[in-house]
Amino acid sequence: MTIHAFLTTGAAYDACQCVTDLHKGDTLLIASEGVVGIADTWPFAVTKTHGSLHRLNTFATLKDLAPLTLEHINAACAIALANGWALCPAVEALRAPSVAA
């Protein structure tokens, strides 16, 4: 996984649509907006602040995000948390350990 820095979330979104060295699952860092995201066809933020990136809904599962994995999400979240930026509640739910019944 590679980290790509952008000046705006709009630029990050556009790059996900046309930059050939940006791959699904790469981390998007937009420090000027306090946003960290994950590259995808519809790039999404792992941070509560999302700018022009998509937000995951509370019903999202890892299965919905395949082929992205928890490793992709945790890598992006580590950058967000290191900068003191709040995580999106839906992303926090994905990272929470499941409770066995």
Per-domain residue ranges for the chain? 3-94
What are the tokens at 12? 């990050």
Kindly state the DSSP code that residue 76 receives in the 8-state scheme: H
3-class SS at 22? coil
Choose among 9, 18, 61: nearest CA to 38: 9
pTM for this structure? 0.92
Convert the pLDDT of each residue in 3-51 to its tens digit.
999 999 999 999 999 988 999 999 999 999 999 999 999 999 999 999 9
What residues form DSSP beta bridges with 38? Answer: 27, 44
pLDDT given for residue 73 in this prediction: 95
Tell me, rounded to whole angstroms, the distance of Cα 13 from its chain centroid: 11
Q: Taking a C-beta distance cutoff of 8 angstroms, is the pair 33, 9 a contact?
A: yes
